[in-house]
Amino acid sequence: MQTRIILNPAAGSAGKKVQALQALTEGRTDVRILESRERGHARLLAAEAAADGCDLVIAAGGDGTIHEVVQGLATAPGRPRLGVLPFGTGNDLARTLCIPDDPAQAVALIEGGGVEREVDLFRVESAGEVRYGINVAAGGFSGQVDEVLTDEMKATWGPLAYVRGALGALPDLTAYDTRIAWDDGELERVQALNIVIANGKTCGGGTRVAPAADISDGLLDVVIVRYGSLLDLAKVAARLLAGDYTESDGVDVRRARRVRVASRPGMWFNVDGELIGNQPVSFEVVPGALRVIAGPPTQTETAPAAA
């Protein structure tokens, strides 16, 4: 069985990265390291690996690298397994999959086979373009944050970059007149500040935006933060930091297989941290679309959601 490691050379500390890659490749002729050179290159490398019959494709980088690799594997023949070496700053998918942050421990997990899971993806269509997400899509305030985030800010602030970006976006809070269509065609109109379409639980470096989401349940958790006064929103933000903001009066949570969002002004959405635009957008879950090597579930992961 052949293994390809798709490496983002800009991600992670050099020392830990070299040690982890050496541990995976030393004395192995069935493992190749391929470096992504530019945006979109990791997607092509993943698709080529699948076409070549590779059984395991390892994304070595952050959530952006994983997102690109997922694009290459989402419709690939043979369904190669996805492994993750978390070299990024946020590592939200690794957190959802119970993969250790420490690269050496992540290598040990991959070499030991871990726990193979079939996880859902979600298909995203907007302005005639189709892509796939694996973790979280967020629009509105989250999209505004992504607009002000820069690579320099991410490098300087690390996991706190999202918080720093939020401070930059606060003066421009927008009420979005939003229409949401659900599975059965029901249409809901809401004045929204933020909308999260969640397959995983966290984004922005560990912020629990959808605490009850299950990446393997065949459903998307849709979290709507309604527009309100700054005081109301401050209360929601405080509960977000505490991990229970979905219980706030100004927050609605629903589960769906399909959801379509259109708003005025256009709501900027990101998918797994990558901006996709501000046109009407639809999301549809693709159950069991990808095999991944995960860690053993924690007690939190296995505990049933509160009623």
Q: Is the pLDDT of residue 265 over 80?
A: yes
Rounded distance between C-alpha atoms, residue 169 and residue 186, angstroms: 32
Q: In this predicted structure, what is the pLDDT of residue 297?
A: 81
Nearest Cα neighbor of 225 from 194, 198, 201 is: 194
pTM: 0.83
Query: Angle at which helices 103-111 and 14-25 pack, to 10 degrees?
Result: 10
Candidate from 1-15, 45-59, 162-176, 276-290 with smallest mean pLDDT: 162-176
**Cα dihedral 74/77/79/85 (nearest 10):** -60
Domain parsing of the chain, residue ranges: 3-113, 124-286
Tens of pLDDT, residue by residue over 189-236, are 999 888 999 999 988 788 888 889 999 999 999 998 887 655 555 555
If residue 188 lies in a helix (H) or strand (E), which one and from where to where? strand 187-198
DSSP bridge pairs for 260: 181, 282
Q: In this predicted structure, what is the pLDDT of residue 162?
A: 45
CB atoms within 10 A of CB 82: 24
Indicate if 152 belongs to the active site: no
Cis omega (within 30 of 0) for bond into 304 = no
Q: How confident is the model at residue 145 (pLDDT cuts 50, 70, 90)?
A: low
Phi, psi of 79 (to 5 degrees): 45, 65
Average of per-residue pLDDT across 241-246: 65
Tens of pLDDT, residue by residue over 150-190, are 555 455 444 444 444 444 544 456 789 999 999 978 789 99
Rounded distance between C-alpha atoms, residue 31 and residue 25, angstroms: 6
Sign of CA dihedral 21, 26, 28, 29: positive
Biggest distance spanned by C-alpha atoms of the chain: 61
For the domain made up of 124-286, give the CATH fold.
Answer: Tumour Suppressor Smad4 (2.60.200)
Tens of pLDDT, residue by residue over 280-293, are 999 999 999 999 99
CB atoms within 10 A of CB 76: 18
**CATH number belonging to the domain at 3-113, selected among 1.10.490.10, 3.40.50.10330, 3.30.70.260, 1.10.10.10:** 3.40.50.10330
Rounded distance between C-alpha atoms, residue 120 and residue 299, angstroms: 21
Amino acid code (one letter) for 280: P
Nearest Cα neighbor of 263 from 162, 116, 115, 144 is: 144
DSSP bridge pairs for 126: 129, 281
Cis omega (within 30 of 0) for bond into 265 = yes
Instruction: For residue 84, give the 3-state DSSP assignment.
Output: strand
The proportion of the chain whose per-residue pLDDT surpasses 70, expressed as a percent, equals 79
Q: Which is the catalytic residue, given 48, 147, 274, 301? A: 274
Beta pairing, strands 56-61 & 81-86: parallel
Are 3-113 and 124-286 equal in CATH topology? no
Tokens 């990446």 belong to residue: 215
Tens of pLDDT, residue by residue over 122-144, are 999 999 999 999 999 988 865 45
What is the token pair recorded at 25? 């490749």
